[in-house]
Amino acid sequence: MRPTNQLATDAVGADLQRRGIVYAPDYVVNAGGIISAALEYEGGHEEKDVWARVSGIYETTRLVLIQSQREQRPTNEVADAMAMSRIAAAHERTADRLRRASPDLISRRRAIRFSAVPLARTGRRPSFGFPVPRTLAM
């Protein structure tokens, strides 16, 4: 068996905690790569932007360890809950931005949705005459 920094199952996290072994979830401590890739995907990122975001990994890891100890829960469970909460908040922020973006964005979104099937068959990328947010892009 090769050593790994990922848990085979969630139950292993509870077992490690019972044995007094502190586990820092891999996707928390190794988040720098995905942060850099996400900023690169968004385009126009600079090294200082990456470092500003990556510097938060220490604090996130610290919060996971503190909350785990305080609640007597395995770190993987705490990190999973924290990640799900952040994802839900990001979805809500995106939805709020879309609602505020334009008074008629919702009707435009419906038009995009209904016109997507025929346009997808043509193989041409549609032009709607306004910027389409990535969450709505096909």
Per-residue H/E/C for the chain: CCCCCCCCCHHHHHHHHHCCCCCCCHHHHCHHHHHHHHHHHHCCCCHHHHHHHHCHHHHHHHHHHHHHHHHCCCHHHHHHHHHHHHHHHHHHHHHHHHHHHCCCHHHHHHHHHHHHHHHHHHCCCCCCCCCCCCCCCC
Q: Are 94 and 31 within one domain?
A: yes
- pLDDT tens digits for range 39-92: 888 776 778 888 888 888 999 999 999 999 999 999 999 999 999 998 888 888
Q: Are 110 and 63 within one domain?
A: no
Residue 1 domain flag: no
Q: Are 32 and 84 within one domain?
A: yes
Q: Domain range for residue 121? A: 104-138
Residue 45 domain flag: yes
Q: Give the number of domains in the chain.
A: 2
Residue 4 domain flag: no
Q: Are 71 and 115 within one domain?
A: no
Residue 57 domain flag: yes
Residue 2 domain flag: no
Q: Are 67 and 29 within one domain?
A: yes
pTM: 0.63
Res 109 pLDDT > 90:
no
